Amino acid sequence: MANPSCYYNWSFPDELDDTYSTRFASGIQAMDTSIYSLSQLFGVIGATTVVISVYPPTPALWATGNNAVTFTSSFTFASMSVSPYGDLTGAVTVPYSGCIVRFELTMTDLITLHGAAGTAATPAAYDADAALKTNTTLVHFRLLAGSLNISGDSMWKILHRGLGEAKSVHFTAIASLGQGIQTVKLEARGISYLSLITYPSCWHQLAPKCPLILTATMESI
């Protein structure tokens, strides 16, 4: 029979110990600490934090600057700066070192538009323009926690046809992070298979009252 105990090393008096009271108190205190640590875990595991939430009342636009007919992996990512919210950043608190965090990004009714420099084409333009109808835009998203690339550069991606159609997407990534407050940031890069001259600008739109939500859920080790 184990004394101290098998899993938690609780130590109790041996038979005939003269000072059994002190050792007994120590053993009970150790039990108390062990069980309290479990109660702390119960308060953490499964908890979900809303890291980024955008719910635009009117169409919210953002742009990706890369626009060429041939994609190369050297295209750089830029912050997702959604008007009028600015860069999409947020923070999540990781309660203990090594905690595994599940990130989930949901975007409802995400539309890709094209247009002249600095201006998104109107929906009517898509009906009238053969190039807009038949070409495609590829967008990569990525999630950074500090300098750590959680999603990778090409795992979160969408492909739009050129008709301004809406996409609803859901991305997931799992990461083991250090304890403390982690600042996370959404970035994107895009490539449009359209003429650089005619359509130098690639825009994306979050439809009104359609959310973009990034959540972080704590998972057990």
Is residue 87 helix, strand or coil? Answer: strand
Rounded least distance, CB 2 to another protein, Å = 6
Q: Which is nearer to another protein, 83 or 198 (CB)?
A: 198
- Contacts with another protein by CB under 8 A: the residue count is 52
Q: Which is nearer to another protein, 34 or 81 (CB)?
A: 34
Nearest to 56 by CA among 5, 111, 11: 111
Burial class for 21, CB neighbours closer than 10 Å (0-12, 13-18, 19+): exposed
175: its two tokens: 């990461």
Could you say which residues in the range 153-212 bind another protein, by CB under 8 A?
Answer: 154-161, 165, 167-172, 174, 191
Q: Is 6 in the site for another protein (CB under 8 A)?
A: yes
Q: Which is nearer to another protein, 87 or 153 (CB)?
A: 153
Instruction: Pick the piece of the chain touching another protein (CB under 8 A) from 51-59, 83-91, 142-150, 213-221.
Output: 213-221
54-93 mask for another protein (x: CB under 8 A)?
Answer: ----------------xx-x--------------------
Q: How far is 128 from 12, CA to CA, in rounded Å? A: 84
Burial class for 147, CB neighbours closer than 10 Å (0-12, 13-18, 19+): exposed
Nearest to 203 by CA among 130, 125, 150: 125
Rounded least distance, CB 86 to another protein, Å = 26
Rounded least distance, CB 89 to another protein, Å = 23
Nearest to 194 by CA among 202, 184, 182, 206: 202
Could you say which residues in the range 120-149 bind another protein, by CB under 8 A?
Answer: 133-136, 138
Q: How far is 175 from 192, CA to CA, in rounded Å? A: 31
What residues contact residue 184 under an 8 Å CB cut-off, 6+ apart?
51, 52, 89, 90, 91, 92, 103, 143, 144, 145, 150, 214, 216
Q: By the criterion CB under 8 A, which residues form the site for another protein?
A: 1-3, 5-8, 10, 12, 14-15, 27, 31, 34-35, 38, 41-42, 45-46, 70-71, 73, 100, 102, 133-136, 138, 154-161, 165, 167-172, 174, 191, 217-221
